[in-house]
Every structure is written in structure tokens, then in C-alpha cells.
């Protein structure tokens, strides 16, 4: 069983998997072909970026190698209703020490001072333990706390993925591509007055606006590689999206794709999303690879849902 948003998918008719540089393009072409008739749900690992940089893909290798792309195709779906009684408890702790974290931040600041990057999206792993009876109870518990349009539960023979990301990497409407990066965050207020005050601060904060516009410029440049001349536009800048626990600043960039552009071409041009790397993208990803202690894997990759109706 797989879940995306409020849809539940079972009994896939076909599975598409890629493990390395040589198989990723074929897999994306297969996904594109299947998308004309079927629903598809799956993911691409962050480390797939190396394919588009003509570098060997390096992923964490447990006893069973993990795919860099995994999609399942379905003929139909049914509505998904979460278990309202799910109530899993969690304990979490960082996988690095504060001294290691501090050292990484100082390293990034040095790179900024040297002009190697303007903005780095640094991440670190956390270990979460629970006594929940299964991963589905974990998903339903978290779903009550953070429902977004892009919730996903994906379980296969390799791994289980629970995602509650509110961010849209891109969507296609015919030959129109829409990206909506998030950059700029503030917590919800305890009162209506405090909430409104936080929104106003986020809207006008110079640092958050600067971070956001850097990524907008990066994505405009990425889309320019695959767009018809003169069609890259920014119809909306510095919008505020409100979620249960926080406010996010988003912007919207659109373009019309050239007729010769395939799924693979799109990913080659814009993957991974600049909001989870920083800018400039290539040099910043190199800094991330050297500074972060673990592999990002599916986190900071992308979850994909494709409908034959759209």
C-alpha cells in the first residue's frame, strides 16, 4: 500500500527502479511513458544529482543496495482515511554532537567569506525511536499533527518513507512548469495578534527575503535551460503560506517547456531543488557533500506523483 495526499494505492501493475548512472535515464523515460495511462507514485534520491553532474552515484549501501529511483504504476486509487486513534509516542536525538554541528557551521561561514557560496542549506540526521506497533501508526499519528497537500507513505521491499513536506518542487500542467520554492520560516504565534505580528515580520525581514530571492534567481536560471525563450516568469514573490505550526515564505516561478523536453531533461536541468541546496548550486552541493556527515538519501530528494488526467 502507498499513500499520497488523500489517495490510497494498492496492487501496482508495474514497478520502475534505477540503481545507478546507467539506468536512471531509461527509468525516467519509462515513467514518462507510463504516465500517459497510469497513476505513478515514487521517489528519486538526493544522490541522483550526481548522475546529472556526470559523477558516480554514491548512496548508503546496506546489505541490499538502495534504488536512486523507485516508482510504482497504478490503474486506480481509493480515498485514504487515517486512523484517528493512532497515538504513537516518540523520542528523538541528533546524530551529531553540538561541537560537530558548530564546527560545520563555522566551515560554512568560512566558505561564504571566501566567496565559494552565498547560501548553504545545511542538514543533519536525527534518530527517532518509538514504541508504535507499526510504521502505519507512526504515519497516522504525524499526519494529525502536520497535514499538507503532499503527505506520502511509501513502503516497498527496500525501505519505508513517511513524508510530511509542505513544499512543491515542481508540477506540470501540459507544457507549463510551475515551481514554488520555500525559503523563510517563522513559528506560529500563541495568539492571533502574535501570529499576525510574526507574519508581518517574515514578510518584511531582509534576511528571509534575501534567502528567498537567491533561490528564485537560481530556479529562473535552471528553468531557462529548458524553457521557450522569454517564458520564464515570477508571477508571485514573497507569499506567506500558513501551516499548523509555522509560516513559510514562498515564491512562484513558471515557464513554458520547449517541445523537445522530456522528464529526464527537466530533472537534468533543475534537480535537486535549489531551496534544499543553496546558491550557487553546484559549488554549494560540493560544500554540503564535504560538510554533512551522513547521506541525505530520500530526504532532500523528491517524491513524485503523476496523474494521467493532468
How is 129-174 classified by DSSP, letter by letter? EE--SSHHHHHHHHHHH---TT-EEEE-SS-EEEE----EEEEEET
- Give the relative orientation of helices 21-34 and 263-270 as an angle to the nearest 10 degrees: 130
Element (H, E) at 291: helix 281-291
C-alpha to C-alpha distance for 59 and 296, rounded to whole angstroms: 9
C-alpha to C-alpha distance for 261 and 266, rounded to whole angstroms: 7
What would the grid cell of residue 42 be? 515514487
DSSP β-bridge partners for residue 173:
176
What would the grid cell of residue 176 be? 507549463
C-alpha to C-alpha distance for 228 and 206, rounded to whole angstroms: 33
Q: Tell me the catalytic residues.
A: 167, 183
Amino acid at each position: 500500500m502507498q499513500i499520497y495526499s488523500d489517495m490510497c494505492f494498492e496492487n501496482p501493475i508495474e514497478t520502475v527502479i534505477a540503481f545507478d548512472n546507467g539506468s536512471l535515464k531509461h527509468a525516467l523515460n519509462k515513467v514518462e511513458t507510463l504516465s500517459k495511462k497510469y497513476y505513478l507514485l515514487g521517489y528519486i534520491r538526493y544522490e541522483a544529482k550526481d548522475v546529472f553532474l556526470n559523477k558516480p552515484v554514491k548512496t548508503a549501501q546496506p546489505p541490499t543496495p538502495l534504488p536512486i529511483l523507485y516508482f510504482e504504476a497504478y490503474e486506480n486509487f481509493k480515498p485514504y482515511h487515517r486512523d484517528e486513534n493512532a497515538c504513537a509516542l516518540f523520542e528523538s536525538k541528533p546524530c551529531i554532537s553540538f561541537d560537530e554541528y558548530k564546527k560545520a557551521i563555522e566551515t560554512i561561514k568560512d566558505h561564504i567569506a571566501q566567496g565559494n557560496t552565498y547560501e548553504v542549506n545545511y542538514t543533519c540526521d536525527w534518530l527517532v525511536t518509538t514504541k508504535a506497533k507499526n510504521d502505519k501508526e507512526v504515519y497516522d499519528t504525524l499526519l494529525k499533527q502536520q497535514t499538507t497537500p503532499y503527505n506520502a507513505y511509501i513502503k516497498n521491499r527496500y525501505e519505508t518513507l513517511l513524508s510530511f513536506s509542505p513544499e512543491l518542487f515542481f508540477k506540470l500542467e501540459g507544457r507549463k512548469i510551475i515551481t514554488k520554492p520555500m525559503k523563510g520560516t517563522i513559528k506560529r504565534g500563541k495568539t492571533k495578534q502574535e501570529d499576525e505580528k510574526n507574519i508581518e515580520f517574515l514578510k518584511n525581514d531582509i534576511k528571509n527575503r534575501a534567502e528567498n530571492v537567491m533561490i528564485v534567481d537560481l530556479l529562473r536560471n535552471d528553468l531557462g535551460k529548458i524553457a521557450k525563450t522569454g517564458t520564464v516568469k515570477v508571477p508571485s514573490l514573497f507569499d506567506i503560506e500558513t501551516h499548523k505550526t509555522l509560516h513559510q515564505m514562498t515564491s512562484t516561478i513558471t515557464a513554458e517547456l520547449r517541445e523537445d523536453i522530456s522528464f529526464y531533461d527537466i530533472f537534468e536541468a533543475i534537480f535537486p531543488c535549489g531551496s534544499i541546496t543553496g546558491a550557487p548550486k553546484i559549488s554549494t552541493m560540493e560544500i554540503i557533500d564535504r560538510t554533512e556527515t551522513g547521506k541525505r538519501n530520500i530526504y532532500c530528494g523528491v517524491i513524485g506523483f503523476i496523474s494521467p488526467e493532468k
